[in-house]
Homo-oligomer: A and B are copies of this chain.
């Protein structure tokens, strides 16, 4: 953010507004406060007779890797409608959306994932413009080394575990990237 979207001024400050506790982009010209908040990613884990539908990404990031259908929730949309829409867009698939299964916070990139269990209503699916390929996988076939995102591999791993237990609680968790490793040699071990 370099200019105020309200008045066009370039006099933006990053400071804690009066009565607030966190720094915000504040316009020194018109006093507008520009709040920024996490975005919601909604998606489905679509099932058909014990198999799970995955999409191979036709776009960056992670072009060529496999994922569950998911994307940003839009204004004016419920979370369930968003999960249905993303499944239709990425896999041309229609689903009955079931229970919320995974709620994963990604605080470092300001996203919250919401993945729903879902049942395909038919087998008439195929790649949308953002997918190279869409297919059903048995548990044993899942390409674990070629899953696009940690949110997706976590959701899938929990799903297959919970399926063995016969119970699918809503799983709330967070994913934090480890700090980048220092490239400097570690002398502590040699000391």
Known: A3-B3, A5-B2, A5-B4. Contact between A172 and B79, CB under 8 A? yes
Known: A6-B2, A8-B8, A129-B19. Contact between A107 and B77, CB under 8 A? yes
CB pair B105–A80 under 8 Å, yes or no, is: yes
| Chain copies in the assembled complex | 2
Q: Is A36 an interface residue (CB 8 A)?
A: yes
* Cα distance, A108 to B103, chains bound together (Å): 23
* Cα distance, A119 to B1, chains bound together (Å): 40
Q: Which residue in B22, B75, B105, B112 is a CB contact (below 8 Å) of A36?
A: B75
Q: Is A170 an interface residue (CB 8 A)?
A: yes
| 8 Å CB interface, A1-58 against B | 1-8, 10, 19, 21-22, 34-40
Q: Residues of B contacting A10 with CB < 8 Å?
A: 8
Q: Residues of B contacting A34 with CB < 8 Å?
A: 5
CB pair A75–B170 under 8 Å, yes or no, is: no
Q: Is A174 an interface residue (CB 8 A)?
A: yes
CB pair B103–A79 under 8 Å, yes or no, is: yes
Contact surface of A with B, Cβ cutoff 8 Å: 1-8, 10, 19, 21-22, 34-40, 72-81, 89, 99-100, 103, 105, 107-108, 110, 112, 114, 129, 169-170, 172, 174
User: 24 pairs across A/B with beta carbons < 8 Å?
Assistant: A1-B6, A2-B6, A3-B6, A3-B7, A4-B5, A8-B8, A37-B72, A37-B73, A37-B75, A38-B40, A40-B112, A73-B112, A75-B107, A76-B108, A76-B110, A78-B105, A78-B174, A79-B103, A80-B174, A100-B100, A100-B170, A100-B172, A103-B114, A170-B170
| Given A22-B74, A37-B40: 12 more A-B contacts, CB < 8 Å | A1-B6, A2-B5, A2-B8, A3-B5, A19-B129, A21-B89, A75-B107, A79-B103, A80-B105, A100-B103, A100-B172, A170-B170
Task: Sort A-B residue pairs by CB-CB distance and give the 3 closest, nearest first.
Answer: A78-B105, A3-B8, A170-B170
